[in-house]
Each structure stands twice: as C-alpha cells, then as structure tokens.
Chain A
Amino acid sequence: MSEMSDILFEEARRRLSQVRNIVAVTAGKGGVGKSFVSTSLALALAERGKKVGLLDLDVHGSSVPIMLGLKEEVRAGKEGFRPVRKHNVEIMSIGLLTKDSPVLIKGKDKMDLITSLVALTSWGNLDYLVIDLPPGTGDEVLWVIRVIRNLRSAGALVVTMPSMLSRSVVRKSLRLLVDEGIRILGLVENMSYFKCGKEEIRPFGYGSGEDLAKEFKTRLLVRLPIEPRVEKAMDEGYPPYLASNELKTTFSSLAAAVESLLQKA
C-alpha cells in the first residue's frame, strides 16, 4: 500500500507545482557561495516586487537562518508550517527547527525528512521559490531533481568560483543536471575578483564561469566580487547583498535575468 514517503512526496510535489517559478541554487562544490547567492537572489527578487519564498534544504549545514539572522520560532496552522518572513521573503529551513544541534541523519530518512518538510509547508501564493542546496550531488539534490524535473517553470542556477578545482567539481554537477533533464538557467561566478582602487585583482585566476558556460551551452549571468563587507553585514544584521552598491546592482540584474529566462519557458 502507499507508504508515507509516497503520500507525502506527492503532496510535496503538488505544493511546489503551485509555485509559479522555482530556482534551485546548486554547485557541487562546497563553500563557493550557494547560500549567499540564493539568499541574495531571493531578496533581490522580492525587492523587484515579486512574492518570494526561500527554502533552505541544506540539512546538515543550514546557513540561511544565520545569514539572515533569523531568531523566530516556526509557527504552524491548519495548512501546515508557516514560513518565517524577513525582508519580504518567506523562509523555511530545517535549521529553524534543529538550531545548534548536529543533524545526524542518513539516506532514506533524509529524503523522508525533506519530503515531510516540504509537504507540510504552506507557502501561500508565490511567484518565485529559491532553493538553497548543500554541496555535492547527494540526497538533497536528487530530491529536488525528482520534484522539478517535470515542472514547467523551474531550473537550476549553478554557482562556481574561478578556480581549477571549482571548475572540475562544478562540471560534475552540470553534467548531472543535463543528464537528468533539468534546465540550467545559467552560471554565477562568485568571488571572481576584488577591487583595489581601480584595479581588479583575481586571486583565484580566470575562467571557470566562462569556460563552463561555453562547454554546457549556457550563459555566465553575473560575476560577483569578493566583498569584505559581506561578513560585517551579517554581523550587524542586515542582508549581505546590501554590503556594497556593486553587489546590490549585480544581484538586481541577476534577478532580472532569472525573471526573463523563466518567462521564456
């Protein structure tokens, strides 16, 4: 008979199919800025007047609540969990429930956890749902692939860094997405350079973003600078993408690019 995983998986899929557009932010590589990019993209889309949700599916290393300084408790009503609202974005994350506890959870249990979380979260009426994923191509990524594969308006945004290592690991992610029939919206090259006066210094070298875009016939949507004020912004409790004007403008154009790409479904 139908197991919970099937019953709730279908419910999770049904709930996500009601969202107009879904953007999964992935990379393969750890620490390249997926959480920074997904959080900032969500905020930038909201800034453009869209109804936006942000779903943090990093079960072991949930970062969104920390990045946005969320202290709120999760509430639940008849329709399920009510996401926490901050900066006009509806946010749901396992981290809001597990707080500082290590999350020792494996295999099928992890899949089931994500399934239940999504099946029980009520997003209301959303234009965009941005999903933050952990590094690697594990259960969380597979879960998202299964759900968005058949959705009309969904795709992946792939974050990379201009290093050889990043190029090789991110390439595997891209290959997986292509093989599984997931639409690649484009690439974001994070920590590309930092400004020293008028000069652009590139500590991690060149390439990766452009090379991978060419190889996978997609586009490098934006390059983001290393911005030391990002850390300070998080410390002081304002959104990290407002750390500099340059970041703010770049994320705004990323949001615009994502919007127009998804409109051309």
Chain B
Amino acid sequence: MHEWSLAEAVINSLIRLAEDRGATAFEEVEITHGEIMELDTLVFRTAFRELSKGTLVEGTRLVLKEEKAKFKCNNCGAEWDFETVEKILSEEFSVIEEPSGTKESALHFLPNLAPALLKCPSCKSRDFDLASGKGLRISKVVMRT
C-alpha cells in the first residue's frame, strides 16, 4: 500500500518540475519502478489519478516501466534475481497492511534494507550489491507550455 505515498511523492515532484520549467501540463510521464518495490500498478494508477485531481498533473498519460533487480555478491561473485529473493525472504521482516491485515515484506517498502534482510543464496554473506531494481524514478516527461 505504499503506492499512495509514492504516487503523492511523484505528483509533488512533477509539480515542482513543471514550475521550474514553466510548464502548464504534462502530456506524458514515464515512471520506472524497481522490481523489488513490487508496485501494484493498478493501485498506483488509481492513486495517481485521484491525488492529481485539481493539480496541473491531472490528466497526464502515465507509463509505468518495471526495472529488473540484479544482485551480485561481493564475496563469492554469485549473481541472482528477484525470484530467488522471494524464495529466501523471511516472514519475520514484514509489515502488516491495513485494513486487510495481510503481511507484506518490509523489503517492498524499503528496498535498501536488502542487506539487512537477505543473504547471498550461495555463500550466505550479506556483503552484496543491488545494482538495479530498487528505486523509483521519473524516467521521461513530455511537457506542455
């Protein structure tokens, strides 16, 4: 459910961007979201639409692109992907979603927590890097002036 907070942050960021560049509206905005965030795109779209009402972002065509996650161990050199992570992720580190009461991994909210919540599947070291797939960025905008 972090979709609403993220949508709010993106909208505020777009408003600032438009103000900086003297734009009045956006034709299109492309958001690249890291796989680890497990963004529910349907919820994100709803949040984006609802929260942008009455702002200059309202009515923008929203393109969402997922970026794959890549992990690389600094100790043994192993590389792995997000599918592997889902298998080794402990339930211990979860957040309870309201109002449904379901558990969701803290990693989806805070991808940078990876080294605290995961270990290399081959050598069990926490000394690994997460090269991509953890963030959220505005990757493209088409503005109207």
Complex Cα spacing A77 to B101, Å: 10
Are B1 and A76 neighbours in the complex by a CB distance under 8 Å?
A: yes
Are B93 and A98 neighbours in the complex by a CB distance under 8 Å?
A: yes
Are A103 and B138 neighbours in the complex by a CB distance under 8 Å?
A: no
Are B139 and A1 neighbours in the complex by a CB distance under 8 Å?
A: yes
Cβ contact of A10, chosen from B9, B96, B99, cutoff 8 A: B9
In the bound complex, residues from chain B placing their C-beta under 8 Å from that of A119 are: 5, 9
Are A76 and B109 neighbours in the complex by a CB distance under 8 Å?
A: yes
In the bound complex, residues from chain A placing their C-beta under 8 Å from that of B111 are: 116
Complex Cα spacing A4 to B110, Å: 12
Q: Does B70 contact A (CB under 8 A)?
A: no
Cβ contact of A116, chosen from B93, B112, B130, cutoff 8 A: B112
Complex Cα spacing A79 to B50, Å: 13
Are A76 and B136 neighbours in the complex by a CB distance under 8 Å?
A: no
Complex Cα spacing A239 to B84, Å: 42
Q: Does B78 contact A (CB under 8 A)?
A: no
Are B115 and A82 neighbours in the complex by a CB distance under 8 Å?
A: no
In the bound complex, residues from chain B placing their C-beta under 8 Å from that of A6 are: 13
Q: Does A73 contact B (CB under 8 A)?
A: yes
| Chain A interface, >50% SS class | mixed
> For chain B, which range describes its interface: under 10, 10 to 19, 20 to 34, or 35 or more residues?
35 or more
Cβ contact of B92, chosen from A4, A76, A99, A117, cutoff 8 A: A99
Of all chain A residues, the one with the shortest Cβ separation from B94 is: A73
Are A102 and B126 neighbours in the complex by a CB distance under 8 Å?
A: yes
Chain B, 102-132, contact with A by CB distance < 8 Å: what is the 0/1 string?
A: 0010100111110111000000001100100
Are A104 and B116 neighbours in the complex by a CB distance under 8 Å?
A: yes
| Chain B interface, >50% SS class | mixed
Q: Does A199 contact B (CB under 8 A)?
A: no
Q: Closest Cβ of chain A: how far from B60's Cβ, in Å?
A: 15
Are B115 and A1 neighbours in the complex by a CB distance under 8 Å?
A: no
Of all chain B residues, the one with the shortest Cβ separation from A117 is: B110
Are A109 and B96 neighbours in the complex by a CB distance under 8 Å?
A: no
Are B116 and A102 neighbours in the complex by a CB distance under 8 Å?
A: yes
In the bound complex, residues from chain B placing their C-beta under 8 Å from that of A78 are: 1, 4-5
Are A112 and B2 neighbours in the complex by a CB distance under 8 Å?
A: no
Interface centre among B9, B12, B97, B98, by most chain A C-beta atoms within 10 angstroms, is B9
Cβ contact of A73, chosen from B95, B110, B137, cutoff 8 A: B95
Q: Does B144 contact A (CB under 8 A)?
A: no
In the bound complex, residues from chain A placing their C-beta under 8 Å from that of B23 are: none
Q: Does B88 contact A (CB under 8 A)?
A: no
In the bound complex, residues from chain A placing their C-beta under 8 Å from that of B12 are: 10-11, 14
The answer to whether residues A1 and B110 also contact, given A76-B96, A104-B115 and a CB cut-off of 8 A, is no
Given contacts A11-B13, A113-B113, A117-B110, 20 further A-B contacts (CB under 8 A): A2-B13, A2-B138, A4-B137, A7-B13, A74-B96, A74-B106, A75-B98, A76-B96, A76-B98, A77-B99, A78-B1, A79-B5, A97-B113, A98-B106, A98-B117, A103-B116, A104-B127, A105-B115, A113-B110, A119-B9
Binding site for B on A (CB under 8 A): 1-8, 10-11, 14, 73-82, 94, 97-99, 101-105, 109-110, 112-113, 116-117, 119-120, 122
